[in-house]
């Protein structure tokens, strides 16, 4: 039995089509079609996507849409939106769309309406965030809260941290947000030195409430608070939890009344729209959080209803499949020309690579095509002075997403013009390159039939020629919006969530499980007894490790036990 998409007719057609396009330069595609921008750009949900600087033609798009049809994309979209258990290995629905279902239409999981619970938690988040923001919520000694600290990791950290940072312009002046995720005590320690226990509120965010790093940080923060305020009762006024595991939260010592619930049909990396967004709500206010949800909802509707050739996530997903599967591109770079999005590449690393870093199909069959590109990136202008060299003259094909805000959050004269012109100049240069003739003309290489000194000059410049040539033909998408608002950010995040879904459907994989992460959680405890044992030669003899691990353990233990 072979159900792989790579064994379908359309896959082979795309392979042949790729061979015909492989030698064509994008500058020729532009030269032969004055309407290329109009043809290959879409405006929807307050975003403009220009995908004309890609190595594709109308035929490519038609074939890619046929691929999506063969993979039954429309059916899979409907399944996800209807709350079916699309996460087949965990037998769960993936209903992040319900969390931002601002139309409040009915959505069922196992025959049960989910919207009443979603709305109930949103109302609880409003009430809590307003009491913290207004100063009504008091710490143990009667002072209002000035700092919130989110303790969580992975999906319980990256999304809220990225959004909170991106929407800094919406923070009230009297509140500060911190995010502690790493088990290295330095992360917590450095954060605590900036904090006053009397005015600090900790949000312990963990879907399972079993995650080693989060529980370690939460325990140490709890102890710090008790030591500073001298009373265990202080915990009730300074700790709240966000989790699906009420029992574990209670066992930890957090009053269930201070717990914000979510559900197993919310995946960690898709959870910022749920109570996991609590730090966002405290920092930007519930009305703005609802705008974030509205932006995502708007994109959800677009994804569900727009025809494939006008559908932003479908187009971006198919283009990504085109490069990964047919050009063997192994990475994609995310380049925001909007400094507020500085954490967006890191957030997308998890969203994309945890979702698509899979080697078997939903049915468990090994794939025979590469699945997930490696995601990396950094804010545009900074990247230009660092890694763009690789994009311009390296040997790899690296598709890029330029994400551009027309207006910045801060208006210093001349700054935004510099940002915008650099962004556009880069997409242009990556596409066009500079061929040897153009480079020769630019270097002003003199005519060699001239005096000796001119000949030498000419030779030197000719030697430089290959170093100054830029092949171009590097593909890019450009996404433009007016200014980053909560609503636009919601739209942008949902766009990438659904782009990932489109890729997963084309490749036939389940994007909603993460057994690799689970493995990390399982093995996290296996070396602990060995490391903690005082005697160098005891515990690690009970569990036999490979010689490398044994050697490393012994080296570390020699230092630890002096």
Active site residues: 354, 385, 521
Q: Which of 514, 530, 540, 557 binds ligand G6Q (CB under 6 A)?
A: 514
Which position among 83, 159, 160, 268 is part of the footprint of ligand G6Q (CB under 6 A)?
268
214 binds ligand G6Q (CB under 6 A): yes
Q: Decide: is 155 part of the binding site for ligand G6Q (CB under 6 A).
A: yes
The reply on whether position 154 binds ligand G6Q by CB under 6 A is yes
Q: Are 314 and 66 in contact (CB under 8 A)?
A: no
DSSP bridge partners of 41:
50
Q: Is 267 in the site for ligand G6Q (CB under 6 A)?
A: yes
- Paired with 49 in beta bridges are 42, 479
Question: If binding means CB under 6 A, how many residues of this protein chain bind ligand G6Q?
Answer: 15
DSSP letter string over 341-391?
A: GTTHHHHHHHHHHHHH--SB-TTSPBPSS--PPEEEE--HHHHHTTTHHHH
**Near ligand G6Q by CB under 6 A: residue from 66, 131, 182, 208:** 208
- Give the C-alpha separation, 266 to 87, whole Å: 11
98: Cβ–Cβ under 8 A, 6 or more apart, which residues? 83, 107, 114, 115, 118, 265
In 3D space, the residue among 424, 426, 407, 427 whose CA is nearest the CA of residue 415 turns out to be: 407
- In the complex with ligand G6Q, which residue's Cβ is closer, 50 or 354? 354
Question: Min. distance of Cβ 358 from ligand G6Q in angstroms?
Answer: 13
Q: How far is CA 311 from the centre of its chain?
A: 20
Q: Which is nearer to ligand G6Q, 45 or 245 (CB)?
A: 245
Return the residue of 60, 87, 147, 156 that touches ligand G6Q, per CB under 6 A. Answer: 156
Q: With CA atoms as reference, report the closest residue to 10 among 62, 83, 66.
A: 66
Among 18, 60, 150, 206, binds ligand G6Q (CB under 6 A): 206
- Tell me: does residue 150 bind ligand G6Q (CB under 6 A): no
159 counts as binding ligand G6Q under rule CB under 6 A = no
Pairwise CA distance, residues 359 & 380, whole Å: 32
In terms of residues, how long is the chain?
A: 562
Give the shortest CB-118-to-ligand G6Q separation in angstroms: 18
Q: How far is the CB of 269 from ligand G6Q (least distance, A)?
A: 4
Interface with ligand G6Q, residue 92, by CB under 6 A: no
The answer to whether 15 and 8 are in contact (CB under 8 A) is no
Within 8 A by CB and 6+ apart from 59, the residues are 17
State yes or no: residue 44 binds ligand G6Q (CB under 6 A). Answer: no
Distance, CA of 308 to CA of 314 (rounded, Å):
6
Least Å from the CB of residue 318 to ligand G6Q: 24
Closest CB to ligand G6Q: residue number:
154
Q: Write out the binding residues for ligand G6Q, residues 401-430 only, by CB under 6 A.
A: none
Q: Could you say which of 49, 125, 153, 293 contacts ligand G6Q (CB under 6 A)?
A: 153
Q: Which of residues 338-367 bind ligand G6Q (CB under 6 A)?
A: 354
Helix H or strand E encompassing 489: helix 486-507
Our finding on whether 324 is near ligand G6Q (CB under 6 A) is: no
Cα separation, 82 vs 433, in Å, equals 46
| Residues numbered 117-146 forming contacts with ligand G6Q, rule: CB under 6 A | none
Least Cβ distance, residue 215 to ligand G6Q (angstroms): 8
- 268, 249 Cβ separation under 8 angstroms: no
Least distance from ligand G6Q to the Cβ atom of residue 213, Å: 8
Which residues lie near ligand G6Q (CB under 6 A)?
153-156, 206-208, 211, 214, 267-269, 354, 514, 517
């Amino acid at each position: 039995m072979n159900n792989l998409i790579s064994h379908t007719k359309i896959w082979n057609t795309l392979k042949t089509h790729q061979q015909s396009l492989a030698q064509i330069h994008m500058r020729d595609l532009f030269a032969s079609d004055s309407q290329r921008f109009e043809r290959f750009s879409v405006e929807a949900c307050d975003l403009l996507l220009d995908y004309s600087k890609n190595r594709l033609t109308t035929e490519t798009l038609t074939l890619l849409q046929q691929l999506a049809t063969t993979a039954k994309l429309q059916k899979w979209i409907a399944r996800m939106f209807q709350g079916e258990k699309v996460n087949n290995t965990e037998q769960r629905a993936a209903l992040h769309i319900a969390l931002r279902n601002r139309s409040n239409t009915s959505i069922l999981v196992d025959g049960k309406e989910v919207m009443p619970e979603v709305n109930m938690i949103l109302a609880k988040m409003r009430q809590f965030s307003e009491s913290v923001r207004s100063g009504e919520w008091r710490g143990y000694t009667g002072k209002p809260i000035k700092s919130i600290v989110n303790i969580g990791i992975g999906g319980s950290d990256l999304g809220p941290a990225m959004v909170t940072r991106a929407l800094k312009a919406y923070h009230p002046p009297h509140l500060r947000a911190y995010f502690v995720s790493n088990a290295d005590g330095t992360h917590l320690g450095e954060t605590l030195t900036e904090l006053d226990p009397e005015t600090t509120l900790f949000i312990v965010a963990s879907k399972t409430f079993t995650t080693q790093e989060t529980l370690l940080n939460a325990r140490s923060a709890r102890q710090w608070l008790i030591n500073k305020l001298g009373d265990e009762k202080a915990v009730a006024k300074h700790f709240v939890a966000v989790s699906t595991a009420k029992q574990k939260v209670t066992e930890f010592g957090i009053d269930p009344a201070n717990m914000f619930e979510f559900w197993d049909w919310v995946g960690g990396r898709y959870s910022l729209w749920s109570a996991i967004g609590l730090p966002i709500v405290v920092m930007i206010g519930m009305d703005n959080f609802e705008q974030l949800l509205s932006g995502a909802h708007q994109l959800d509707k677009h994804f569900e209803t727009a025809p494939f050739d006008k559908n932003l996530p479908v187009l971006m997903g198919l283009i990504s499949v085109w490069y990964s599967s047919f050009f063997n591109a192994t990475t994609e770079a995310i380049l925001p020309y909007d400094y507020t999005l500085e954490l967006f590449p890191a957030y997308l690393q998890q969203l994309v690579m945890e979702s698509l870093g899979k080697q078997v199909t939903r049915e468990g069959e090994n794939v025979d095509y590469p699945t997930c590109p490696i995601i990396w990136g950094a804010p545009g202008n900074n990247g230009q002075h660092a890694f763009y060299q690789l994009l311009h003259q390296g040997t790899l094909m690296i598709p890029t997403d330029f994400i551009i805000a027309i207006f910045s959050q801060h208006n210093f004269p001349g700054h935004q013009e510099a940002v915008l012109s650099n962004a556009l100049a880069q997409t242009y240069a990556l596409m066009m390159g500079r061929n040897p003739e153009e480079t020769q003309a630019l270097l002003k290489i003199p005519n060699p039939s001239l005096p000796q000194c001119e000949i030498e000059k000419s030779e030197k410049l000719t030697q430089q020629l290959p170093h100054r040539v830029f092949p171009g033909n590097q593909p890019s998408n450009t996404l433009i919006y007016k200014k980053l608002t909560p609503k636009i950010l919601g739209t942008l995040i949902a766009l990438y969530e659904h782009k990932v879904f489109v890729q997963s459907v084309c490749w036939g994989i389940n994007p909603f499980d993460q057994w690799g992460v689970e493995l990390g959680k399982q093995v996290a405890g296996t070396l602990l007894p060995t490391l903690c044992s005082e005697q160098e030669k005891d515990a690690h003899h009970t569990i036999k490790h490979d010689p490398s691990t044994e050697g490393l353990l012994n080296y570390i233990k020699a230092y630890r036990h002096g």
